[in-house]
Structure 1
Amino acid sequence: MTALPTRLGLADVRAAADRIAARVRRTPLLALDALPGILLKAEHLQHSGSFKVRGAANAMAGATADEIVAGSSGNHGIAVARTGRALGVPVTVVMAAGASADKERAIRSLGARVLRVDGGVAERDRQALAHAQRTGALLVPSSDHELVVAGQGTVGLEIFDQAPEVDTVFVPTGGGGLLAGVCLAARAARRPVRIVGVEPAGADRYARS
């Protein structure tokens, strides 16, 4: 498979920061005695409980669609549902059969509709795309979307502003949106920065692939 060239750059991440400033929190870097020399970006304090709201808010800003649809295992769906409620746009979240019931309840509590589908992540995303094509809804993917990546990259902008001497940033790999966004944001750093994607040792699908 040939990789497609991206049009994204640092300017897109900075534009995202301006666009979503009123909808996200600037989260702190935390120092823990148990981890000397390491700072933790406290995105658990973010609206909706994760960094996902950054990408969702950037992708949905100014949306004129009558409906928004997203495939999600949970956190992205919560972020899209929360943003959709704030914008007054109906949201449908497609979840795989094995996704968390607690996350589904959280999504529903924000007023979104949830569609459960058999199969895993690939089938979930296929069904979300099919729903968008069938209904005209705006599809907001969890990772593979330029505005989502730029929005997630605002995590990196904050890190490099809050800790200008940082030389290594460890980023969860996940679907790749946060990792790609932080790589873009690293161009704003005042010194060369090493970006390391990490994943659980027992679920290292990207390292193996």
Structure 2
Amino acid sequence: MKNLLYKELRLVLQPVNIMFLAFSAMLLIPSYPYLIVFFYVCLGIFLMSITARENKDDYYSMMLPIPKRDTVKARFLMVIFLEILQLVIAIPFAVLNHKLFPSGNEAGINANIAFFGFAFIIFGVFNLIFFTMHYKNTSKVGIPFLVACIGVGIVIMAVESASYVFPFFHDYIKTMVPGFLGYQFAILAAGAVLYALLTFVAYKKSATAFERMDF
């Protein structure tokens, strides 16, 4: 597995994937739908998959004396690393956001604790849709990404709209008031669990589909 991860780093990971991590700084933009920040990681994963396809990485991996499932596992570990790293990098920018804009975000949810729970959900939905479609036929990347974008877009619009539509969401989830942290930690925990579940299901389905592929 270590050698497969090294292959992912050298042959699949692109400089743009690292550049998109810096987009966490977009949390310093006033009155902005901040959940869009996490879309760029998804875009980077899409570009990474295109690179793998054009370099015939999957064909090369299938010729190696290793289980096909391990190839999928290495890709998922790389993706999980990028997604978690994006969340970690976003934390200091979220803290600074609170200092710069104490009145909150007029364009949607604030960059608070619940915000990171919704980010987990975005990544989980993307992983489930994109990879389960992509690994049915690794030559197809565009359609799986388009469908995954629709799924991610629905999550983002639902969360951002809830800030205006539902008083409970606005007063307890979006709020920056410390007294309601319990609700926000519940969203964070639920988001993390859902992310783990959706990503695990995505891996299992993707690995099974890839094992059935034959070039």
Instruction: Determine if the TM-score, normalized by the shorter chain, exceeds 0.5.
Output: no
Q: Calculate the TM-score normalised by the size of structure 2.
A: 0.31
Q: Which has the higher contact order (CA 8 A, sep 6+)?
A: 2
- Could you say which structure has the higher helix fraction? 2
- Could you say which structure has the higher strand fraction? 1
Q: Calculate the TM-score normalised by the size of structure 1.
A: 0.32
